[in-house]
Structure 1
Amino acid sequence: MPDAPKTQHRSVRVPDDDWADLETAAKKQGTDRGTLIKEFIAWYLRRPKAKLPKRPEH
């Protein structure tokens, strides 16, 4: 199957304003929301070599 994702799609509830602000902040850092969320989860779970994502400047 072409373009098959390596991970399963997950759903979470996030307020619209937070979701939009996260997209804006991620783009300013040259990344995307999904990447930031996965990095945070890895850090939170203390996965080897995981680092807390850098927070955006105000």
Structure 2
Amino acid sequence: MAPTRGTPTRPIRIDSTLWERFGASVGSLGLDRSAVLRDFIRWYTREPGAKMPRRPDVTASAKE
């Protein structure tokens, strides 16, 4: 993963409930929202070597 210190913030609008569920999901993998969003954007824009971010298994997300 590329360094992120000193990068500008990018405010986006997301429903509070969805944002909290996303935080719980990435937290269950020991990650944070920003890291997963950056990985997704790299994958989405077809950056060489980028991979789709990992998601928690169905049983973990069903408990949340």
The whole-number CA distance in structure 2 between the counterparts of 1:19 and 1:41 is 17
Q: Which residue of 2 aligns with 1:37?
A: 37
Corresponding position: 1:26 with 2:32: no
Q: Percent identical across equivalent pairs?
A: 33
Runs of 4+ in structure 1 deviating by more than 4 angstroms, as ranges, are none
> TM-score with structure 1 length normalisation?
0.86
The structure, 1 or 2, with the larger RCO (C-alpha pairs under 8 Å, 6+ apart) is: 2
Deviation at 1:55, TM superposition (A): 1.5
> TM-score with structure 2 length normalisation?
0.79
The whole-number CA distance in structure 2 between the counterparts of 1:18 and 1:40 is 17
How many residues are paired up?
A: 54
Corresponding position: 1:51 with 2:59: no
Cα RMSD (Å) of the superposition?
0.9
Which blocks of at least 5 consecutive residues in structure 2 are unaligned?
59-64
Measured against aligned partners, the alpha-carbon deviations of 1:12-49 in whole angstroms (never above 9, x if no partner) come to 00111110011101111010000000000000000011
Q: Which residue of 1 aligns with 2:62?
A: none
